[in-house]
A and B are shown apart, each in its own frame.
Chain A
Amino acid sequence: MNIRVLFFAQAKVLTGVSSVALTTAGDGSLGDIQQQVLQAYPALSPIFSQLLWAVNGQYCDSSCRLSENAEVACFPPVSGG
């Protein structure tokens, strides 16, 4: 499955990229993508447990199932307002 992962704010600073294309041959869950992101960008590790994740614009946890071409987003706690 082809998955695009977007990074925002401090997550974008730590990875140095605003998005990355990944493929998953695993169980197709968000958890699989989360592990790939951590391996590819170890700079995220200090904040990894506090990152928020969304799939196709909805907050999700690691058990969330992904579909082909899903848009995953990864970001630290929000601070709008």
Chain B
Amino acid sequence: MRTTGTFEKGRCVDTALIELTESPIDFESLTNSVRDHRAGAVVLFLGTVREITGTEETVQLFYEAYGEMARRSMQELAEEAQRRFPVVRSAISHRTGVLAPGDVSVAIAVSTPHRAQAFEAGRWLIDTLKEKVPIWKQEHYKDGRVDWVHPGLNSSGSPQVSP
């Protein structure tokens, strides 16, 4: 993982803005970046750090990324979304490092000619990002425990039931 504290500038390839950043996500700029006169709808999805999961209280999350692959993978998602849906523009930004409850960990903005397509494309982008992009979160609980989150695994490697 890159440990530079600098903002890694978004890459603009075709019509997709992709970024992986240690700085707070500017989701207003991200949203504006997908506005376009060909679009009739813009949808913004924000993933935020949840404080309570079941009976567990999270005090912070740490996000680690395999930077080069994560950026390329998000770019490929944006390109695939354009093949699957009538996407005019899309933008994906994911945070790394330490985040507190309420912080924005991921933002996805997408514009399409009509609203249903924008919701569908945004839903597909976040669902597929969570499945494929090499980024991991580590839970820091109030009682001091620290756990990497790996769907399908627990820390000892035995099967874990999804919440």
A8 to chain B, nearest CB (A): 6
Residues 52-69 of chain B, each 1 if its beta carbon lies under 8 Å from chain A, else 0: 000000000001111011
Decide if A80 touches B69 in the complex (CB within 8 Å).
Answer: no
Decide if B66 touches A79 in the complex (CB within 8 Å).
Answer: no
Decide if B151 touches A77 in the complex (CB within 8 Å).
Answer: yes
Chain A contacts of B5 at CB under 8 A?
A: none
Q: How many A-B contacts at CB < 8 Å in the complex?
A: 87
B70 to chain A, nearest CB (A): 8
Query: Among B72, B150, B152, which residue has its beta carbon within 8 angstroms of that of A57?
Result: B72
Chain B contacts of A75 at CB under 8 A?
A: 66, 134, 136
Count contacts on A: residues with CB < 8 A to the other chain.
Answer: 22
Decide if B150 touches A81 in the complex (CB within 8 Å).
Answer: no
Chain B contacts of A8 at CB under 8 A?
A: 1, 64, 66, 134, 136
Decide if B135 touches A80 in the complex (CB within 8 Å).
Answer: yes
Bound CA span A9–B1, Å: 10
A25 at the interface (CB under 8 A from B): no
Q: Which one of A26-34, A46-54, A62-70 contacts B?
A: A46-54
A76 with B133: in contact, given A9-B64, A57-B72, A81-B47 (CB under 8 Å)? no
Chain B contacts of A57 at CB under 8 A?
A: 66, 68-69, 72-73
Bound CA span A58–B137, Å: 21
- Give the residue name and chain of the B residue nearest to A47 (CB): B157
The contact sample of 15 A-B pairs, CB cut-off 8 A, is: A9-B150, A47-B150, A50-B153, A57-B73, A76-B148, A78-B135, A79-B136, A79-B137, A79-B148, A79-B149, A80-B106, A80-B129, A80-B133, A81-B106, A81-B135
- Give the residue name and chain of the A residue nearest to B20 (CB): A80
A80 with B152: in contact, given A54-B69, A57-B68, A57-B72 (CB under 8 Å)? no
